Structure 1
Amino acid sequence: MTAPLRVGVIGCANIAVRRMLPAFAASPDIEVVAVASRDPDKARRVADSFDCRAVHGYAELLARDDIHAVYVPLPAAVRPRWVEAALRTNKHVLAEKPISTEYACTRDLFELAASRGLVLMENVMFVHHRRHAAVRRLLADGALGELRSFYAAFTIPPLADSDIRYRPELGGGALMDVGIYPLRAALHLLGPELDIIGASLTQGTGRQVDTSGAALLCTPGGVTAQITFGMEHTYRSAYELRGSEGSLTVDRAFTPPAEDVPVISLHRGAKAEEIRLEPHDQVAATVAAFAAAARAGTPPDTSDTLRQSELLSRMIQIAARSEHTAWGIAQDLKTSA
């Protein structure tokens, strides 16, 4: 029997405590060894809940030789520093999304991981849900005819004023927090040649970060993708694909509960059909994929993550150059591509 992957957690973020640590603890492929925090009392409370060791300080956790991999849920602005530090101590890394807020930094971190034979994986969990594989099969089988367009939205209600996602020095903002989901869905379903036509980011009243945004993208074959996102809105998590002969819709697309019955709504002419699938736990599936890759020493395909990082950077550039008009002009960005 293969020994479990021994994992340490760098930071006690909400997503770590609420979602990832329970998934690690439930996985036969993972043994949680330690949890680190700059606050020793917080580390102790979290560690006691998951029957592991508490460590005061991130560097102290990385110095342990009984840990093979780490999970890094730190804020986006400080995440790259500790991802790099973990790789330089020869530990596999599962990092929250995005791995960094800059394309060059993300590329360099993947190159560092590859040079050391290590797995670096971004924690985009919805791509591991079986429902999206089923959507891909429907598209490949021609269920919609020739694909024409894609639309995706991920919006969440306002956060507490103290939430770190409102803090620019920590890499906050809607694009990096929720915009990454519809953008990744577009790449996942339409392919890496997807490119940006225009983008807009809006800063909410009294905020220092972008609180909403939108982008228009297009494939070389002319399939358009419109994405919208925001973090001071009513909740919405969905995408829609339209073709020459039909359309399909996926609701609760990005963060479905494990017990949720996945549904794909398919429309062809006057006929409507609900394709219902078995429940699937995308958090557990992500943990299993990371453990398998780390134990095999075989990194997952990073092309979508790198393209996503590149497009995120370009969206920021386009939005800045457009001076908050409705759409930036992609042609204005060609020289910086």
Structure 2
Amino acid sequence: MSADVRLGVLGCADIAWRRMLPAAERTPGVCVTAVAGRDQRRTARFAERFSAAAVHDYGELLQRSDIDAVYIALPNSLHHEWACRAVQSGRHVLVEKPMTCCYRHTVELIAQARANRRVLMENVTAQRHTQHEEVELLVAEGRIGTLRSFSAHFGIPPLPAGNIRYRSDLGGGVLLDLGIYTLRAAMRFAGPRLALRGAVLRTDPATGVDMSGAALLASSEGVDAHLSFGFDHDYACGYTLWGSQGSIRAERAVSVPADTRPVLTVSRKGESETVLAAACDQDSVTLAEFADQTRGRGAAAAHQVATLRSARLLDAVRTAARTGAAPLHRRQP
């Protein structure tokens, strides 16, 4: 293997263009070698921007000899197939969240990676931002007493018609797109072994895609977690830890620019204090961690355990919501 981890990219998604490939340029030891996409014009644009070869077939990219690892930025429904094929071709894999669309496929894929001794990582960069470590430190210092409740929300305004998030055949829907972030945050702060107590998903009858939802979970230690997410909301993304003596609120928990210092608000006994967390390039941190693992530094087990637990809970939310979900009725003109 060369000194740099030579990255092949499957898919010309917006997340790759805006965040992950620019982050690769900022990350020592990582270089983008080739980009594969089915739209030739879009693929050529990606390749030119990131000084990479343009490839117009996913399988062809996996046959290249100048690829050590693959970053998969395809629609959710294609993650399982192409991650499997990448692992079987001998490549390490960084795959956009969710790793797959269901728990069973996630188990199969992780087993495949382990059998082939390849690194397989789910790209949930938000969890690698250092602001969450600062929140954990504040809790450990006793600033809010004993944690009693956790809540998280992530909502965005409506997207243009035809967006892949509105296509059920491509694994669209708000649960896998935004809900997963709230779930991973709950696992981090309320406890990794959460049990689902109830859920609702509201679907668009025209597309069959879940457009908003909520879930209630609880830990064995008695901490409850309230999650809400939606595609038809004013933009908001944050979480609150509510304890016996105070609370901590994170106002921007997911898509934080690398030069931005997130705001944490600590409230206690009627008084509030603003804490500016350190800036963090969460995308570059993720790529550096992935590259280190491909070189045999660090263990994959910890983050794969979190991926499996979140996949199981995502399935549980869908199952719980299925019988009680209320359809989303379009507003009348």
Q: Could you say whether these structures have the same fold, taking a TM-score greater than 0.5 normalized by the shorter chain as the test?
A: yes
C-alpha separation between the residues in 2 aligned to 1:4 and 1:172? 34
Structure 2 unaligned segments of length 5 or more: list them. Answer: 328-333
Q: Paired residue for 1:318, among 312, 317, 320?
A: 320
Counterpart in the other structure of 1:248: 248
Return the TM-score normalized by structure 2.
0.94
**1:310 maps to amino acid:** R
Q: Which string of whole-angstrom CA distances, capped at 9 and with x for unpartnered residues, describes residues 72-116 of structure 1?
A: 010011111000000001111000010111101101111111122
CA contact (8 A) 2:252 2:263 kept: no
C-alpha separation between the residues in 1 aligned to 2:173 and 2:26? 32
- 1:33, distance to aligned residue in structure 2 (A): 0.7
Q: Which string of whole-angstrom CA distances, capped at 9 and with x for unpartnered residues, describes residues 130-180 of structure 1?
A: 000111122223221111000100000000001011011001111011111
Counterpart in the other structure of 2:294: 294
CA contact (8 A) 2:203 2:326 kept: no
Counterpart in the other structure of 1:220: 220
Q: Which string of whole-angstrom CA distances, capped at 9 and with x for unpartnered residues, describes residues 268-303 of structure 1?
A: 112211121221111111111111111226443111
CA contact (8 A) 2:242 2:248 kept: yes
Counterpart in the other structure of 2:139: 139
CA contact (8 A) 2:83 2:95 kept: yes
**2:324 maps to amino acid:** S
CA contact (8 A) 1:188 1:304 kept: no
- 1:323, distance to aligned residue in structure 2 (A): 4.5
Alignment of 1:168-317 (within 5 A): 168-204=168-204, 206-296=206-296, 298-300=298-300, 301=302, 302-317=304-319
- 1:50, distance to aligned residue in structure 2 (A): 0.8
C-alpha separation between the residues in 2 aligned to 1:152 and 1:130? 18
C-alpha separation between the residues in 2 aligned to 1:169 and 1:297? 38
**2:284 maps to amino acid:** A
Structure 1 unaligned segments of length 5 or more: list them. Answer: 326-337
**1:29 maps to amino acid:** G
C-alpha separation between the residues in 2 aligned to 1:138 and 1:294? 33
C-alpha separation between the residues in 2 aligned to 1:286 and 1:323? 35
Counterpart in the other structure of 1:126: 126
C-alpha separation between the residues in 2 aligned to 1:40 and 1:160? 23
Q: Which string of whole-angstrom CA distances, capped at 9 and with x for unpartnered residues, describes residues 29-71 of structure 1?
A: 2011100112333222210111111112000000112111000
Counterpart in the other structure of 2:330: none
CA contact (8 A) 1:119 1:298 kept: no
**1:197 maps to amino acid:** R
SS in 1 for 2:90: coil
C-alpha separation between the residues in 1 aligned to 2:53 and 2:252? 36
Counterpart in the other structure of 1:89: 89
Change beyond 3 A, Cα 1:299–1:54? farther
CA contact (8 A) 1:155 1:229 kept: yes
CA contact (8 A) 1:6 1:30 kept: yes
SS in 2 for 1:238: strand
Count matched residues: 324
- 1:223, distance to aligned residue in structure 2 (A): 0.6
C-alpha separation between the residues in 2 aligned to 1:43 and 1:160? 22
Return the TM-score normalized by structure 1.
0.93
Counterpart in the other structure of 1:58: 58
- 1:206, distance to aligned residue in structure 2 (A): 3.8
Counterpart in the other structure of 1:80: 80
SS in 1 for 2:192: coil
SS in 1 for 2:295: helix
**Two-structure CA RMSD over aligned residues (Å):** 1.4
Identity over aligned pairs, percent? 43
SS in 2 for 1:264: strand
**2:212 maps to amino acid:** S
**1:41 maps to amino acid:** R
Change beyond 3 A, Cα 1:33–1:323? closer
